[in-house]
Amino acid sequence: MSLRARLLLLTLLFYNRRFPPPFCKSMKEKTSSSSSSSAAGLSLETLRHSAAHVMAAAVTELFDGVLVAIGPAIEDGFYYDFDRAEAFTPEDLEKIETKMREIVARDEPFVRTQKSKTDALAHFSARGEKYKVELINAIPDDKVSFYSTGGFTDLCRGPHIDRAGEIKHFKLLSVAGAYWRGDARNPMLQRVYGAAFHTESDLKKYLDRIEEAKKRDHRKLGRELGFFSVSDEVGPGLILWHPKGAMIRHIIETFWREEHYKNGYELIYSPHIGRASLWRASGHLDFYKDAMYSPMEIDKSDYYVKPMNCPFHIEIYRSRLYSYRDLPLRWAELGTVYRYEKSGVLHGLMRVRGFTQDDAHIFCAPEQVASEIREVLRFTLTMWKTFGFDEAKAYLATKPADAIGPADRWDEAILALRGAADAEGLECETDEGGGAFYGPKIDLKVKDALGREWQTATIQFDFNLPERFDMTFVGADGAKHRPYMIHRAMFGSLERFFGILIEHYAGKFPLWLAPVQAVVANISDDNADYARAVAADLRRAGLRAEADLRNEKIGYKIREATLAKAPYIFVTGEKEKSSGGVAVRTRAGENLGVIPVSEIIERLKDEAVRRV
C-alpha cells in the first residue's frame, strides 16, 4: 500500500480543522484550555507549543531525511507536520515519545535568536528545508526569530517555556494525513498529534475522555445497533439508513415538521435537479462548481443535481409579487443535496456526499429583521435543548473587505445578530471580518455529554441572491423594495445531527427517540402467546415494542436487549401472565417489579410525551 493510501486510512476527524497560521507560532485563537495556568502562571498554550518543538526535536534525532513544516498548539494538545518517505507507525510514535522524555529529562533550555531574512534563508536552504524556505519568503520583516532546544532549531515567533523539563505530562496520540497549507495540490504530510497538560490527573481525564469517545464513535455504534451503513457498491459518502436508524430519523423529522408549523413556518418541497441556467444565475457555476457533480443532459439542456436548496426557494418567491403585508415568509424544507467531498475527508455521518439539510429561508422587510433573528435563535436553542443539549455558544462573523451590499444593511444585520445572542444570554465570540462577502452570520456550537463542541446551527444573511434574482416586494409606499433574505439551518444536516446524537447518548437514546422502546421477553414457550399479546397492546397504544420469543434462556434475552440499548425490558412468565402484568427492567439493570400492563403503558406514554 502506498504512503498516501496509508495516510488516508489514518486520517482522523481532526483533518478537517482550519489550517493553522502560516508558520510555527503560538496560536492567537482561544482554546478551551488556553486560559488555564500552572501555579507558576505558565499558559497551557505555551506549554503545548513547546511540546510540539520537543516532538520535532525527537523526530529529527530519530529519523534521517525528515523535513519539518509547522507545529502549533491546538485545543487540548499540539501537533507537528512532517515530510517523510515512510509512514509513521504506532511503534514509531512510541519511540518518538520515549525520545521526547529523554529530551525533557535533559532539561535543555529554549533559546531565542534572530537572523536576517537572508541568513535565515541560507540556513534552511543548506539543510533542504523547503517548507521553512517557503514560510520565510512569505514573511515581510527583515529579521526572523528562531528557537532552539537541544540540537533542534526552528523558525518560530514564540513564546516558549524556559526549559524543556517543564513539560512533564504529555502523550502522543495519533498520526493523520494533512496537505501542506491545506491544499490538495500540495504534498501530503504526516501530522503527529499529542496532548499535554499541567498535571497528570488532567492528562488522565483527557485520555479517559478519548477512550470514552472511541466507545461512543457513531460509526462503531451505528454498525452494532443496526442504524446505518455505507456500501462500496452504492458509493462512499452515501448513507444507507437501516430500519432502526430510519425510525429515529422519522421521529426527528416528524417532530421537526410539527414544531415548524407551530412556530409559523410553511413547509415546501423542491426538485433534486435544476437547469444549468438556474445555477448560473445563482453564481454556483462560477464559485461552487468544484463541489457540484457533472451535469446530465435532458432535452438538450444541462441539469445539475442540487448542492443547495436556496435557488429553488427563491424561484417559489418569484412566482408571484408579494406585498409588505405578506412578510415575513418563513419557508422550511428537509431538502436532500449532493456535494463532492474528497474521499480522504469522508467520515461516517459527519462528512458525506449526499445529505438532507434542515433548511429554511426567511424573506422579510427591514423593520422585521431584529425580531425575526431573535425568534430564529430562540427556536433553534429550544430545539437543541429538547434533544438534550443545554450548553451553546455563538460565533458572530462580521463584514469582510470584499463585502457587497449597502453598508447600512450590514450594520443592521450585524446588530440584529449580536442583539439576538445577547437577548438569549449566549456567550458570543466575534470574528471581525470573518463573514462571507454576501452577508454576516452567526454559527452555534453546542457541547455534548463529553464536553466536546459541535458546530451546528447557522443563521446567515444574504445580500447577494436577492440582487442576482432581482427579488422585490411592494412596500407601504407602493414602490418595490428589496427583501432581506436569511438562510437558516438548525441541525445542519440530518446525517450529521444523527451522528452527534449517537455519540452524545452513546446509543442509549431517551425513550421518545429510541427505535425500540420496550422488548417483551417470554420465559418459556408456555407464555409466548401472552408476550406476543403484550407487545401488540404496546404497539396499539402508540409505543414501539418488539417481542423476543426465541427459544433462549431469559438471562440471554435480557442481555441481548440491554446490548441493543432498549430502554425497557418486560419479562413475562406464568406469574406475570396470571396477574396481567409484566416484570419491568431498565437497560441500566434496575428491577422495577411486576407492574400491570395498562399502568406501564401509561407510564411509558407519559415519559415519551415529556421527552425526558
Do the domain assignments include residue 299?
no
pLDDT (0 to 100) of residue 536? 97
Average pLDDT, the chain: 91
pLDDT band with cut points at 50, 70 and 90 for residue 473: very high
Instruction: Identify whether 343 is part of a domain.
Output: yes
Residues 175 and 190 in one domain: yes
The one catalytic residue in 81, 154, 359, 443 is 359
End-of-domain residue from the set 479, 505, 531: 505
Task: Among 172, 193, 216, identify where a domain stops.
Answer: 216
113 and 150 belong to one structural domain: yes
Active-site choice (310, 347, 399, 544):
310
> Exactly one of 441, 452, 504, 557 is catalytic; which is it?
441
pLDDT for residue 84: 95
Regarding whether 522 and 500 lie in a shared domain, the answer is no
In the set 339, 351, 418, 587, the catalytic residue is: 339
**What's the number of domains the chain is made of?**
3
* Share above pLDDT 70 across residues of the chain, in percent, rounded to a whole number: 93
Distance CA 26, CA 32 (A): 15
* pLDDT in the model for residue 343: 86
What would you report as the CA-atom Rg of the chain, rounded to the nearest whole angstrom?
Answer: 28
607: cell is 415519559
What local confidence, expressed as pLDDT, does residue 41 receive?
52
| 564 and 499 belong to one structural domain | no
Torsion angle of C-alpha atoms 302, 305, 308, 312, degrees rounded to 10: 60
* CATH code for position 591: 3.40.50.800
CATH number at residue 126: 3.30.980.10
Same domain as 202, residue 232: no
Instruction: Report the pLDDT averaged over residues 300-329.
Output: 97
Q: Are residues 471 and 562 in the same domain?
A: no
**Do 491 and 531 belong together in one domain?**
no
Catalytic residue among 48, 99, 487, 504: 487
Tell me, yes or no, whether 227 and 210 share the same domain.
Answer: no
What mean pLDDT do residues 184-207 have? 94
Q: Based on the domain organization, do 146 and 23 belong to the same domain?
A: yes
State yes or no: is 357 an active-site residue.
yes
538 belongs to a structural domain: yes
Alpha carbons 245 and 256: distance in angstroms, whole number? 16
Mean pLDDT of 419-443: 92
Q: Are residues 462 and 338 in the same domain?
A: yes
Assigned domain for 510 exists: no
498 and 577 together in one domain: no
Q: Which residue range(s) make up the domain with 163?
A: 3-216
Specify whether 272 is catalytic.
Answer: no
pLDDT at 592: 96
Residues 6+ apart with CB under 8 A from 31: 44, 45, 73, 74, 75, 76
**pTM of the model as a whole:** 0.85
What CATH number corresponds to the domain at position 402?
3.30.930.10
Asked if pLDDT for residue 497 goes beyond 70, the answer is yes
42 — pLDDT class (breaks 50, 70, 90): confident
For the question of residue 455 being annotated catalytic, the response is no
Query: Is residue 180 one of the residues assigned to a domain?
Result: yes
Indicate whether 513 belongs to any domain: no
Q: Active-site residue among 361, 496, 504, 585?
A: 361
Residue 283 lies in a domain: no
Do 7 and 188 form a contact (C-beta atoms < 8 A)?
Answer: yes
Rounded distance between C-alpha atoms, residue 455 and residue 154, angstroms? 34
Query: For the segment 520-552, what is each residue's pLDDT rounded down to a tens digit?
Result: 999 999 999 999 999 999 999 999 999 999 999
Residue 385: active-site member: no
> 218 catalytic, yes or no?
no
Q: 255-291 pLDDT, tens per residue?
A: 999 999 999 999 999 999 999 999 999 999 988 999 9
